[in-house]
Amino acid sequence: MRPLAQLARFANKRSLTYAFSATKMTARICGTRAGESQRKNEINAIKAWMTKCESDHGSFGCGTVRSRALPARLIEIRATIDTARLISVASLGQAPEFVALSYCWGLTGNLQTLSSTLAQMEECIPISALPLTVKQAFEMVIALGFRYLWVDALCIIQDDEVDWQREARKMGAVYSNAALVIAAMASRATQDGLYSKTDDASLTNDIFHSVMLACRTMPRKQWEDFIQKDLPLLCRGWGFQERLLARRVIHFTPAELVWECKGDVWCRCGNINKFHSTGGRINNMSAAFWHCVDNPTVDRVRPMWRECVKTFSRRSLTMLHDRGFAVTGVAELLRGSSCADLYISGLWKDALPFDLLWRCDQSTTLQAQKQRKPSWSWVSVDCGINWPVAKDPGTMSISAETYFESGLDGVNCKHVGADETRGDYNPISADQIHLQAKMVEVNVVRKADPEDEISPFWTLWDVERPGGQKLSFYPDIHLSDEETRSCVSGQDNSRTLYYLEIIIPKNGSRGWQAGLIIRKVEGSRYGEERYERIGIAGEMSRVHQEPVASFVPAISAEKVILI
């Protein structure tokens, strides 16, 4: 489903407070209390929107299927929901039109297809065991005149690792190929159903329509409880690409029914059109994403990918090891553009070294140690991700004797997974990066006067090299514990920290310098030392600042292996 909707225009707490003073929403369009006549009105509205989209949006690509990859299975629903069964797509001869469901699983109670129940599901899906959200999606499919539905819990064999990995890699294609995506926006778990159970949403009119339209994100410290309370699907990791890649989505929100496609956004009350015509499209990441895919240039693709990662990274995942899988559909589309290169562990090879300079949002919760590898990829952490700047500085503005002089010696890559000739996306993982750069020993110290927490440059920490020069430090790991901090600060000689210089502007120019904070991996042999990343340090040149001075003295570059 397309991206996480957020309030780009409400950029600080003061404006968020102002937004809460807007008039409370009073229209209740799709509440659970709605009777059969109300449900019929909803069905008629969706059908009318679908017809209008099909007739008016040919130039927007709402009817275009972009991927050849197909799911292995669909749910076939004939006259009534009690006839539903799993069916092999290969047995159908040609790809049928189908609907896909985007929803939150919750912790328990979701009916799943297992190796032991696959044969039964192919005969008949036990309707009495379906959770309410899935059951109502079945009913919606019939009412809208479709015959096929895709639901991840039922169409993927959940205890078969091979099947799960193969089908998970195709989930982006599933949502982009679906004729319609049903989004259970207000449901926190599968038992909640499509329809809100509250009498009144806590969202104000203005905030609701901005949230549903803008599709931008902010640091979690500026997220408000009402979004997590009323729109839980916007906090779900897998839901990011489900919405971003969809051609058409019907959102069941706590306030009303909302239609979203590549050509327009509509709601029952009509107020969303006011925001759409007064700058909403400017802030709409979905529109920007498809413009980037259709008109690919390096200047568009790389910042777009970083914006996608920033948005996705602030969402939650039940299974944290899904972090890399849950955006492969987005990467596939960007990789398919003419300027794409190898996609390795969440980064782009031709976007190095800038892709290495991601940093953890310091307002989010950091872990004491990394759970996944490689350490140099944002996939290794479980928090919000930012980049120092959205756009790469030109290489002509970068000083010699940094990364750009010695360069990238190589990336050890290994292919994992599917055969690309069959139309599956074939991701690449990389366990090591070999590079040459200048490296200097540093210690971690607490900032004497940190910036305001709402600043994008906020952090509690500096790194300091011998001589006293400091740079702001954005750690990937939690530093508040004394024992952890003493280890990271180099009081244990085996855990000495180093600043690995990546970029610095030419003398006399404004810009930003940045490098990785790394430490030697235990067990490394002399001459084959391997290092892990634990953060990034850097200095951004502000409007009234003097040009930045190099943090690293005039020393020779060293060969470094990052894992």
| Residues 360-401 pLDDT 10s | 988 877 887 887 889 999 999 998 898 876 566 665 556 555
Which helix (H) or strand (E) segment is 538 a member of?
strand 530-540
Q: What is the pLDDT of residue 89?
A: 96
Count Cβ atoms below 10 Å from residue 497 Cβ, excluding itself. Answer: 22
CA atoms lying within 13 Å on the CB side of residue 149: 29
Question: Using H for helix, E for strand and C for coil, what is the string for 241-273?
Answer: HHHHCCCEEEEECCCCEEEEECCCEEECCCCHH
| pLDDT score of 249 | 95
Task: Give me the residue label for tokens 């944290």.
Answer: 320
Residue 56 has what pLDDT? 93
454 by DSSP, 3-state: which?
coil
Q: How much is the pLDDT for 204?
A: 53
- Using alpha carbons, list the distances in angstroms from residue 54 to 49, 59, 60, 221: 9, 10, 10, 40
N- to C-terminal Cα separation, the chain = 33
pLDDT of residue 541: 62
Question: What is the predicted pLDDT for the residue at 293?
Answer: 86
Q: Give the pLDDT score at 409.
A: 52
pLDDT at site 255: 78
Q: Which residues have C-beta within 8 Å of that of residue 55, sequence separation ≥ 6? A: none
Tell me the pLDDT tens digit for each residue of 212-261: 665 544 444 444 555 667 788 988 889 999 999 999 999 998 878 889 88
Q: How far apart are CA 103 and CA 125, in angstroms?
A: 19
Low-confidence ranges of the chain (pLDDT < 70): 1-35, 196-228, 273-284, 336-341, 389-430, 454, 480-494, 506-511, 524-527, 540-548
- The model carries a pTM of 0.80
Q: What is the predicted pLDDT for the residue at 396?
A: 55
Quote the pLDDT of residue 392: 67
